Structure 1
Amino acid sequence: MKRVQYDRHGGPEIMYFGDHDLPPAGDGEVRVSVRAAAINPFDWKLRQGAMKLFSGRRFPKGMGTDFAGIVEAVGGGVANFRVGDEVFGTVDFKRSGAFAEAVMVKASHLAKKPPQLSFAEAASLPIAAMTAWVAIIDRAQARPGARIFINGCNGAVGAFAVQLAISRGAHVAGACGPASRDNVRAAGVHPIFGYSDSQTYTLQGTYDAVFDTLGTLDVGPSFAMLNPGGVFIDINPTPARMLRGMLSQRYKLAFATMGIKRLPEIAELAGNGTLRPAIGLEAPFTDALSVIADTEAGRRISGKAVLAF
């Protein structure tokens, strides 16, 4: 089968279409014929070597983590999936390779695809929705009347965070770019600030949680935006941010891997319309190299970039 892969860490120029054979499904594993795969910043960060201490030194490595498709084979001990099921999920980052015609994945990293969603919509869910779940449900503990500020409320993670918070009865304020204001307002965010309005939104009262999806807020001053007992939630930790944040119990980290067990609940919420994936670009797999490179370079689209097979 064909997949997008690379032989060393580096920039987009090292990606290529390569041949790869999947082994038979082992215990607890499921082989899925991929119908759509969503592009995440995490994918090119892995290729660049950001996680090389944990991802191993064996090459070539496949690219891609989030996907949706049809089950082709199941290994021993897998009771909740069978051949022909439509599923979506995410690949362990040590075994990335969802930008491929087929993928082998742990059954625990899969959920049934809601019939209301297309394969492209389902593929756009895992990393973004799992991250949002950990931040809003687990860390912020969104509840009726809670006040939550989301920096980057228009991005993939931010949009799901808004939807989850509002579904739990929380009041959401946020910062976004000018082109996204109408969509963010329609989603229920109020008030809405620009990224340069930090002097303004830090004076608009305090919050039960501040969720920085972009890694652009200064951790220290952001603590001043919190109510007593409020938390600052970070998904872009740098050594400096963590050093500053770890001095306070109000600093919380949120990673997608913490939310893998929530995939069935995410599927249910997507099926009933509480979570609404947004597709900005759906391109054929044959264009994968250029689409990944363009997305990595900052090509602006409103919604997820998805590869269709």
Structure 2
Amino acid sequence: MNDRTMKAVLYDRYGGPEVLHVGRVPRPEPAPGEVLVRVHAFSVNGGELAARSGRIRLLTGRKFPQRVGLDFTGELAALGEGVTEPGAGEGVTEPALGEGMTEPAVGDRVWGVLGRSSGFGSAAEYVSVPVKRLGRVPEGLDPVDAAALPVATTAVTALRDKAGLRPGERLLVRGAAGGVGSAAVQLGRAYGAEVTALARAANLDFVRELGAHKAVDHRAVQPAELGRFDVVLDTVGSDLRTFRRLLAPGGRMVTIAFDLSRPVASLGSIAATAVHGRGRVRFFSGNPLREDFDDLARHVAEGKLRPAVDKVFALEETAAAHRALESGGVRGKYVVRVTP
């Protein structure tokens, strides 16, 4: 087999999970400032389901084949120009992969998220990524378990930076059993907030175990019955106006999703909250850097954040992982193992 190629998950047309298949593509070479990572595992995220189905084709275009995979854990396999190993002379002069690491080295265990400009593509044997978008996996954390956590940087940014969550405040997490939501429940508790988690009835015990003070079946209550909150974190994207009404004076709402059934209208509605009504809805998509992964690693090391892996799939079973996520009810993350 040509060692300049690798396995990757591809699709040649938009559609359901069945369009996904494992093919061979050229193995990437790290550009200046990048590193080549041998991927151990990745998780399945809602954004790539939307892309694969064609619901955001205005952004993804019609050039095929296209790739899936947003986050990853793995091992540094090669360093691009300008990224040198310790003791190799001139190179990186500031910590590259976390506290205590002055320079990266081949063999380091890392985790990361592809940036907005990179698109998807971590569902593969190798990925090339800017060194600034990597962190070092905490010691003792299994690489498959670790793959459930890179997306938690989104929860860190949402609560710490966008919402400015403070101790004693009331936090509502919508979609609390999912990848970002399950991390937000844990982090909200760690930040000293009173956490209310909205989830399916079958997942209420799960979110309580993560640290939620109150767990509510989202199908059994009307939003108006929930009370007022200082911070609302939404991971669903629909009915944002309804949940915005739950904000207490001075409250903040952050969403990482929009209504995919009406994307233009949904994004327009979010933008309009900046100029009218009570409480702006802050929308963002995760684009983490090294310092975010450093913060994530500290939370893990301090026992404030743990991975939640629902089920592990093989690379050839990526379509099944997509299908499982689309069916709903996930507890944490579905993870795909790439290397045996």
CA distance in 1, matches of 2:324, 2:289: 25
* Aligned residue in 1 for 2:50: 45
- What is the TM-score when the length of structure 1 is the normalising length? 0.89
What TM-score, normalized to structure 2?
0.82
Residues 246 and 284 of structure 1: CA distance in aligned 2, closer, same or farther (over 3 Å): closer
TM-superposed deviation, 1:153? 1.6
| Counterpart position of 1:275 | 305
* Aligned counterpart in structure 2 of residue 119 of structure 1, from 143, 152, 163: 143
- Letter of the structure 1 residue corresponding to residue 244 of structure 2: F
The question of whether the paired residues in 2 share the 8 Å contact of 1:149 and 1:209 is answered with yes
Aligned residue in 2 for 1:304: 333
**Bigger mean CA offset, 52-61 vs 135-144:** 52-61
Distance 1:219 1:19, change over 3 A: closer
Q: CA RMSD in A?
A: 2.2
Counterpart of 2:3 in structure 1 is none
Q: What aligned pairs does 1:1-309 form with structure 2 within 5 A after superposition?
A: 1-55=6-60, 57-78=62-83, 79=92, 80=96, 81-92=104-115, 94-127=118-151, 129-199=152-222, 202-216=224-238, 218-237=239-258, 238-249=263-274, 250-257=280-287, 261-292=291-322, 294-298=323-327, 300-308=329-337, 309=339
Do the aligned residues in 1 keep the contact of 2:39 with 2:74 (CA within 8 Å)? yes
Structure 1 contact 130–256 (Cα < 8 Å) conserved: yes
- Residue correspondences, number: 305
- Counting helix residues as a fraction of each chain, which structure ranks higher? 1
User: How far off is 1:57 after superposition?
Assistant: 4.8
Residues 50 and 106 of structure 1, relative CA distance in 2, 3 Å threshold? farther
- Cα distance between partner residues in 1 of 2:59 and 2:144: 29
1-structure distance, mates of 2:240, 2:313:
38
Cα deviations across residues 100-158 of structure 1 (Å, max 9, x unaligned)?
Answer: 1111111122111111211112211122x122122211122111111111112222111
- The one-letter code matched in structure 2 to 1:40 is N
Q: Which moved more, 1:93-102 or 1:20-29?
A: 93-102
Answer whether contact 1:29 1:105 (CA < 8 A) is retained.
Answer: yes
Q: Within 2, Cα distance between the matches of 1:224 and 1:42?
A: 26
Per-residue deviation, 1:298: 1.0
Q: Unpaired segments of 5 or more residues in structure 1?
A: none
Partner Cα distance (2:290, 2:153) in 1: 6
276-285 vs 220-229, which deviates more? 220-229
How far residue 74 of structure 1 moved from its aligned partner, in angstroms, is 0.7
Contiguous gaps of at least 5 residues in structure 2: 1-5, 84-91, 97-103, 275-279
